[in-house]
Amino acid sequence: MIDRFSWIAIYPEIVLLVMACVIALVDLLDKSQRRMPAYILSVLTLLGVAALTGMYASGGQTIYGFNGLVVSDPMANWLKCFAALAVLVGFVYGRTYVLERGMLRGAEWYVLNLLSLLGGFVLISANNFLLIYMGLECLTLASYALVALRRDHTVSVEAAMKYFVLGAMASGFLLYGMSMLYGATGTLDIGGVFKAVASGQIKHQVLVFGVVFVVAGLAFKFGAVPFHMWVPDVYQGAPTAVTLMIGSAPELAAFAMAIRLLVEGLLPLAFDWQQMLALLAIGSLLIGNLAAIAQTNLKRMLAYSTISHMGFVLLALMAGVIGGNALAAANAYSSAMFYVIVYVLTTLVSFGIILLLSREGFESEEIADFAGLNQRSPLYAGIMAMCLFSLAGVPPLVGFQAKLSVLQALISTGQAFYIGLAVYAVIMSLIGAFYYLRVIKVMYFDDPVSVAPIRAPLDMRAVLTVNGALLLILGLVPGALMALCAKAIVQMLVT
């Protein structure tokens, strides 16, 4: 099903592109300060896209479009659905924040986020090296502009410059690696690369050279050590609403890019890229958790926390190619997908609370700013506590289930090295629990720094409450989401 269904495969991308242009045009006629037409149109667009991709995913059909350039399979469509919902939640959480900080001079906030999501969608459905690079550039270029959107804030502009320079270097790594693979295999098609590599007729050293650069580019997108330098600086320097955006939906796109390149394209070279992922995962868990302990800025602490969580995702990707067991592979990759989705859900909560406590002229991003939060609002303190416990992997919250699924995937390989990695990951998680518990201690046992009431728009309060409740509900009954991930990965592997 290639030519006949070409346009169906990219309907979500078409909707996003058209609506981004419509919102930009409508904004020319809107002279109000709050930009409500752009907000409403963006929310409706994302709801429509989420419904469309969810419908595609539920159908279970795999469609190849434009002579195999794009693929619309259940894994891609579920990731698109969750990415659209993440951006939608980010719009709800960040609306007041961007208005108070002068970031709504026009509709750039909405248009750039939709274009970034468009890049993520292209990346998720890419079945060709060229399309992967186009999607990545669309996503990252819009992200650079978002970080610098608060033009009168020196720290944000500095963070954008760092992000741009390091991002350009990482894009160069990825592009060079893909060009090496193209030179060796003679094709840009991911399926064609798989067949060429599996034939065994290509010089191994040339392929490995390309794989090294591809993995380096992926590691930057994940924020894995030693390509993590941008994460703490950008997380801290970017406006908090932007930090939420670049820490949520793009992680889903990065996971899809890793699956497309490493599993669908370079699986015959798994022995080589496994070793690289092992080093990245070990370093990310160690540096991420140890560096987070020393942080006093909550956004920077969460940045190092992100690095450690990406270590878990890399561990799951490693465990998927041991022993040639298709069922074990599907279990490992589905645990990685489940982990990424859970991480995004939890990230939305954490930065949502930070945005809630921020007010005009004051960024509530230091750990000390959360002192006595329970005395000001037991509800929001409870939501933040659940978020932190989930990140630490404490049952019965969903973060525990995510970590457990990855550890089970490692242990089920039966190999001593992978069992050792599972033990190492548990030890690192115990170390990481310290800095999460420290924030909870500050919220519940320190004297409040302010007695001002916490006010939030009705839509933000409602979404934040539902978002926090999901951490507990999915922790108690994770079966549906885990089965969804497993089914999507199985359907992706058999096509």
Cα 360 to Cα 23: distance, rounded to the nearest angstrom: 26
Query: What per-residue confidence (pLDDT) applies to 322?
Result: 55
Cα 401 to Cα 80: distance, rounded to the nearest angstrom: 23
- Could you tell me the pLDDT band of residue 271, with boundaries at 50, 70 and 90? confident
Q: What is the pLDDT of residues 199-254, one digit of tens each?
A: 878 888 888 889 999 999 999 989 898 888 889 999 998 999 999 999 988 999 99
Q: How many CB atoms lie within 10 A of CB 202?
A: 17
Is the pLDDT confidence value at 3 over 50? no
Which range, of 46-60, 127-141, 315-329, averages the lowest pLDDT?
A: 315-329
Q: What is the pLDDT of residues 464-479, one digit of tens each?
A: 999 999 999 999 999 8
Total of domains in the chain = 1
Q: What is the pLDDT of residues 299-313, one digit of tens each?
A: 999 999 999 999 999
Assess contact for 397 and 389: CB atoms under 8 A. Answer: yes
Is the pLDDT confidence value at 87 over 50? yes
Is the pLDDT confidence value at 5 over 60? no
Peptide bond into 226 cis (omega under 30): yes
Q: What are phi and psi of 7, to 5 degrees?
A: -70, -35
pTM: 0.94
**Domain residue limits at 73:** 4-494
Which range, of 76-80, 263-267, 438-442, averages the lowest pLDDT?
A: 263-267
> Where does residue 32 fall: left (phi above 0), alpha (psi -120 to 50 degrees), or beta otherwise?
beta
Query: What per-residue confidence (pLDDT) applies to 324?
Result: 54
Q: What is the pLDDT of residues 65-84, one digit of tens each?
A: 888 889 989 999 999 999 99
Average pLDDT, the chain: 89
Query: What per-residue confidence (pLDDT) applies to 1?
Result: 47
Give the alpha-carbon dihedral of 244, 249, 251, 253, to 10 degrees. Answer: -160
Query: What per-residue confidence (pLDDT) applies to 146?
Result: 92
Distances (CA, A) of 364 to 34, 147, 351, 464: 22, 18, 10, 17
Q: What are phi and psi of 71, to 5 degrees?
A: -130, 130
Q: What is the pLDDT of residues 153-183, one digit of tens each?
A: 888 889 999 899 888 888 999 999 999 999 8
Assess contact for 86 and 249: CB atoms under 8 A. Answer: yes
Is the pLDDT confidence value at 331 over 60? yes
Cα 303 to Cα 351: distance, rounded to the nearest angstrom: 11
Q: What is the pLDDT of residues 386-430, one digit of tens each?
A: 999 999 999 899 999 999 999 998 998 888 888 999 999 999 999
Query: What per-residue confidence (pLDDT) applies to 329?
Result: 78
Query: What per-residue confidence (pLDDT) applies to 360?
Result: 62
Is the pLDDT confidence value at 9 over 90? no
